[in-house]
Amino acid sequence: MKNYKFPNKLIEGLIKSRPNRFIMMVDIKGHIIKCHCPSTGRIGNIIFSDIPCLLSKARNKDRKTPYTVEAISFDAPKNKFKSWIGINQTKANKYIDFLLANNQLSRIIKGKEILREQKLGKARIDFKIDNNYLEVKTPLISLPTKNKSLLKPYKFNSFERLIKHFNELSKNLNSKSRAIILLCCIYDAPVFSPPRVQNNNQKIMSAARQAHHQGLETWQINLKITPSGVKLIKYFKLKLF
């Protein structure tokens, strides 16, 4: 099985803080450097203090943030064999594109023509494979944080984009096409299960249930990230409703 290889090996650092959504201050070989955080949303409920990370170096030497945080670990900084959790949601599409092109997701979908970023109604969908649509989501709200210090949990209610994707995917389903939501976990995650319906998530849960009743499929894929690259662990279809 062919693995996705990084053009340059990732280096290890230690996140000291996350002053805002876009920036992480990282200790790299004794120097505190401002690094790009590729996920602007919530990453678990963790406090970013002394969190090990993997970083890629920016190609543009003039960029204000010379490194991007690609993955984090909840293992002790001194642990030589850390388990990593990928947090670069944009890169997730690259990993899936690679796996599709190398026919490693044939149980999910097969196709000759793979197109990226295709317009569907009022939404843009990550992949169009022949007549089928596949949207990749990288969930980072809930993570296996072990014994790390946590922030006070808060209710997440920003679901407009996801609702739009559910609506457009299900609306365009027909007998000759399929629509798939692929939950891409860049670590060996447990089987995803939908949250309980609460006041803050009623709309998204209703949209998800309706879309699935109309034929939308949901799959989960677990990937492993290392300093050298990314490899497929497993993938499987989810029965959510």
Tens digits of residue pLDDT in 127-167:
999 999 999 999 998 888 776 666 655 554 456 666 777 77
Question: Is pLDDT larger for residue 153 or for residue 104?
Answer: 104
The pLDDT of residue 196 is: 67
**Residue 49 pLDDT exceeds 70:** yes
Contact 9, 227 (CB under 8 A): yes
Q: What percent of the chain has pLDDT over 90?
A: 65
Domain assignments of the chain as residue spans, ordered by start? 10-86, 89-151+158-237
**Residue 19 backbone phi and psi in degrees, to 5:** -65, -25
Tens digits of residue pLDDT in 202-236:
777 777 788 888 888 999 999 999 999 999 999 99
Tens digits of residue pLDDT in 171-204:
777 777 899 999 999 999 999 887 666 665 677 7
pLDDT bin (cut points 50, 70, 90) of residue 44 is confident
CATH code for the domain defined by 89-151+158-237: 3.40.1350.60
**Residue 96 pLDDT exceeds 60:** yes
**Of 174, 234, 175, 181, residue with least CA distance to 212:** 181
CA angle 136, 141, 146 (to 5 degrees): 120
Q: How far apart are alpha carbons 224 and 187 in whole angstroms? A: 5
The pLDDT of residue 198 is: 63
229-237/217-225 β-pairing: antiparallel
Q: Which runs of consecutive H residues, i.e. helices, occur in 132-176? A: 160-171
**Residue 61 pLDDT exceeds 60:** yes
The pLDDT of residue 215 is: 87
User: Class of 10-86 per CATH?
Assistant: mainly beta
**Residue 41 pLDDT exceeds 80:** yes
**Residue 103 pLDDT exceeds 80:** yes
Give me the mean pLDDT over the 104-117 stretch: 94
